Every structure is written in C-alpha cells, then in structure tokens.
Amino acid sequence: MMKIPARKRIAAGVGLLATLVLPVAAEPEAAPDYARSTLSGDWGGSRSELWQRGLALEAGLKFDSLRNHGGIMDGSQTVSHLELKLRADLEKLLGWSDAVAYLNTDTDRGAGINARRTGSLMGVSNIEVPVPTTRLFHAWVQKGYLDNRFSVLAGIYPIDSEFFTMDSAATLLHPAYGTPADLALTNAPSIFNNAAFGIRAKWLSENREWYAMGALMDGVPNDPARPKATAIRFAKGDGAFVIGEIGWMPFETGHLFEPVDPSKVRPTPELAAHEKYGGISKYALGFWRYGNPVADQLDVDADGNPLQRRSQGGYLLAERTLFSLGAEAGRDLTAFGRYAFGTGHSTAIDRMWNLGVRLRGPLTSRPDDSLAIGWTRSRLAPKWRAVQQAGGIDTASAEEAFEITWRAALTHWFALQPNLQHVRHPGGASTARNATLLGARVEITF
C-alpha cells in the first residue's frame, strides 16, 4: 500500500511546474482573452505571457442555493465548489512534443440539499458531495503520438471528464446528466469528486470524426477510511475498473486545432469561435466493468451468505444540433438522449433514460445565454425493490426528475442561473412526497 499526503503532492506538483517557467523560444500565437473572460483579467499581460510559455492558470467558483419542498424535509441549503487549475504544455516548457500535464484541485463545502432535504437516489446538484473536502481531482500527464491521433494519459483521472459526456446537457444542474445514475451508485467509480489513479488511451481517426478510448482505473479511489483526504492507494482487494467507448462526431471533421486532453481551461480565440458557432453531433457506445465482485443485495448461497457478483453495464448516447435560430451564428437548438444500463445486483438503479434540449441564444438580445430542459427516468432495480418490500416498504417502479434552467451570462466571467426541478418518488418509496426545488446557481471565473 502506498499513501502520499495530499498537501505534499499538491505542493510538490505546483513547485515542479513553477520551476519549468523558463524563457523558451516559441512561435507566438493568440492567447485566450483573459482580460474579457475572467474577473481577475490578464494580470498586466503576465497571464498571456505565462500562456505563451506553456502555463495556463485558472480558478472558478460555483454556488448552488436551492429551496426544497417535499421529499424528506422542506427547507433551503447552499453548496459551493471552488476549483483551481494548472495546465502545462510540456512541449513549450521541456521540448517534450505533444505532451501535457494538468492539476485540478476541488474544494467543496456546504450541507447537501439532497442529503438533508430531497432524499433522491440520483441527487439534485452536480456539485453536492457526501463529505466537505479539498482534493486533487486531476493530476496527470498525457503524451500524444502520430500527430496526437493516439494519446496515453496516466495519473489521477476522473472518467466523467471524457466518458459518457453530453456537452449539450452540461448546463443542467442534475447529476444524472453527467455520470449515469446506475454507475454512480456502484462501488466508488472514479468520478466527481473522488478520482482514482489510472491509465487512459485514446485514438482519433485522421479527420477527427471517429474515436475510441479506454481506461483502466484503481477499483477504489482514495482511502475510504479517510474520506476527506487525497490518497494514491493500491490496497489489497481494491481490484480494477475498466471502461471503453467508441464514438462518431461528424461535425468535427478537420478540426485539428482542438485539444485532445480533458483539461478544462480558457480556449484560444480559434477554439472559442468554433465552440460558439459550431454545432454538436455525437453518437457513442460504451461499456464498463469492475474486476472485483461485491455482495449481491438479494441472492444468497446455500449457507445464507450473499452471492458475490461483478458489477457491469453500458450506455448509448446521441446529441445533435437540429437547427439555427435565424441568420445569427451561435444561436441554435440541440437535442440529446442517453440510455444507460447496469446489472442491478448491488445498486438501487439498473436502468436510466435522459432526454432533453438546449437552446443557445434564446433571445437575440442575449446571444450568450442558454436555456436547457431535461427529463430523467431511473428504473429501480428489481432486486432492490424486493429487499425494500421484505422490509415493509412499498416502492415505485422508478424515480423521475424534470428540470428547466436558464443560464444568464451577465458578463463573460459571471453567470446567474435560475433553476427549477421536480422529482417524483425521491428515494424510491411509493409514499415519498414528490419534491419541487427552486433556486439558482452563481458562477464566477477568476
């Protein structure tokens, strides 16, 4: 077993990358528009100069304040999410071609609206965490080959940064539009905010339309005995987790300037223009599996002990920009859908459906706003329902959630996002009160 204190890893990583900021001869290119898109600006030009040398530094803060009526208990709660990012272009810094390093720390605080109030199996806010903590969420190095058509990434890596993603659903606050609920309820996958150490390989076709990727991860992220700590820990019994995905993105033909790594930092002007004016078209298929078996929640052997079974599942997804609004570029309607499935041997959910739309620039006077509507249905696993029935609890067949949200970009670095959600059968019990949540997200980019 190997344990490395989080503070020592963060200090060592930042110190190492800071020492790499040396004068390097490089072709000048347009840096991100820090002065316009961040609260702290360009730091007198220093931020753009660091970017030219290979370092991108960023910070972002989100608050979700929601009032719940129904579910467990009426009332309001607020949660917060602070992330600090450092991306290093190792080709500019060290001459290591097509290589990138990335550090991302997350600080999550606040009493959970879902844990205390709603009681949904799927959750209601994608920044709510079980334990308030500060953790390394990304800490990896990626090396590209064959003009970045093939890449290998190694380090602390959350699979929800690349796998099963739907960009058009990212505006929604509900967690199930990120990691599918059937996977999120399994034995600690490497997702927000609990990432594991692993290796990811990715292949892109020559024109960037087709891709295939796979990851091999530690089966238990961090140290369950120390839920507030970051730990690279290879303990006996952790096992492994594997996931693979293949996809087709026909609108990406020829966009060779796009990054192939999953770091989330300010885009260059060229990429920003593509993201604003380009549509979305993605179709993907994925599968995942744990190496170690876990106890079945219902089936037992001849001695009455729970049978041991491996959790596995998969998903299908599609998102497509349907049409533009008028002649103005950057204003369009995109639809998305995803179906996910798992074995349901040890979880409360075994099937999940997502459907929704995102409208960019809903008003001509507000071209940078987004309106998103989503519906999610998670089927309750038959074995879980049988266990609840044996305990005297009648259950519904599914938990459902409807959400509508408007992200108003008040400036290029500040957004206010009113949000309305309605959850049917939160927690799965047929007698549970349906829950309605009303509130808003505040988002600031520093």
In a domain, 23, yes or no: no
Token code pair at residue 243: 């996931």
CA distance 32 to 46: 12
Q: Is residue 78 part of a domain?
A: yes
Residue 15 inside a domain? The answer is no
In a domain, 359, yes or no: yes
Domain hosting residue 405, numbered range: 6-10+34-445
For the chain, what is the domain count? 1
Report the amino acid identity of residue 197.
F
The tokens describing 329, both together, are 């570029």
Tell the residue number behind the tokens 């950057």, with chain if given.
330
Asked whether residue 1 is domain-assigned, the answer is no
| 26 belongs to a structural domain | no
The DSSP symbol for 59 reads: E
For 205, the 3-state DSSP assignment is coil
- Beta-carbon-side half-sphere exposure of residue 300 (alpha carbons within 13 Å): 5
- Cα separation, 112 vs 132, whole angstroms: 9
pLDDT by residue for the chain (446 residues), tens digit each? Answer: 444 444 444 444 444 444 444 443 345 678 999 999 999 999 999 999 999 999 999 999 999 999 999 999 999 999 999 999 999 999 999 999 999 999 999 999 987 899 999 999 999 999 999 999 999 999 999 999 999 999 999 999 999 999 999 999 999 999 999 999 999 999 889 999 999 999 999 999 999 999 999 999 999 998 888 888 888 888 777 899 999 999 999 998 888 888 899 999 998 888 888 888 888 999 999 999 999 999 999 999 999 999 999 999 999 999 999 999 877 778 999 999 999 999 999 999 999 999 999 999 999 999 999 999 999 999 999 999 999 999 999 999 999 999 999 999 999 999 999 999 999 999 999 999 999 999 999 999 99
Q: Say if 170 falls within a structural domain.
A: yes
CATH of the domain at 301: 2.40.160.180
With respect to residue 29, please indicate whether it lies within any of the assigned structural domains.
Answer: no
pTM above 0.85, yes or no: yes
